[in-house]
Amino acid sequence: MNRVFVFPQQEVVRKDWLFKLVGKETFTVGSCSTRATVVIEAVGGFAYEYSLEVDGKSLQKFTDNRARTSKTWLLKVDGEDCRVVLEKDTMDIWCNGQKMDAMGEFVDDGTETCFMLGGHECCIKAASGGGEKKKKKNSILHFLLLDGEKIPASTQ
């Protein structure tokens, strides 16, 4: 009997000849080697429940936290799928898991952080979002421009 975990098309755990059907399997994912754990619990008879923890948090809490601390754009550049992520706390920019060389500067209406994606100029602009009733006053809005064209943010 084998236990195999595959995380986006890459095998991350393989255990051969298992006698222990419940417990935890810990592995790392992504270019930052984020720690993830699959928890396997018996729920009666031969039924099992699986849950995923990422960085010590439930998948839902991890996802909610990432949504607050980062902004993601999905786009095609020269026919290639690209996932651009801004880490709001550090202002680091990543594309498909690779940290991008970026240059930030203050401008009249906020900040601009510019970088190259292939032969294309990209810029993430940060500006005050004003205040909405349910959101914090003076929230910061981030926009990605690719060759001057605004790219919609991802909801994933």
| Full pLDDT tens readout for the chain, 156 residues | 677 778 777 787 777 766 677 889 898 887 778 899 999 899 988 899 999 999 999 999 998 998 899 999 999 999 999 999 999 999 999 999 899 999 999 998 889 999 999 899 999 999 887 655 555 555 889 999 999 999 998 876
Domain ranges, ordered by start, for the chain? 2-55, 67-151
Task: Check residue 111 and give its pLDDT.
Answer: 92
Residue 29 is predicted with a pLDDT of 82
Tokens of 131: 């205040």
* Predicted local distance difference test score (pLDDT) of residue 2: 72
Question: What is the per-residue pLDDT for 119?
Answer: 93
Neighbours of 129 (CB within 10 A): 15
Contacts of 76 (CB under 8 A, 6+ apart): 82
The CA distance from 38 to 36, in Å, is 7
Q: How far apart are CA 45 and CA 61, in angstroms?
A: 30
Both tokens assigned to 115: 């970088």
Q: Does domain 2-55 have CATH number 2.40.128.180?
A: yes
- Does CATH number 2.40.128.180 belong to domain 67-151? yes
- Going by the DSSP 8-state scheme, the letter that residue 31 receives in this structure is T
Q: Which residues pair with 50 in a beta bridge?
A: 40
Token pair recorded at residue 80? 């290639």
Q: Do domains 2-55 and 67-151 have the same CATH topology?
A: yes
d(CA 135, CA 127): 15
Strand order in the sheet with 80-87: 70-77, 80-87, 92-95, 98-99
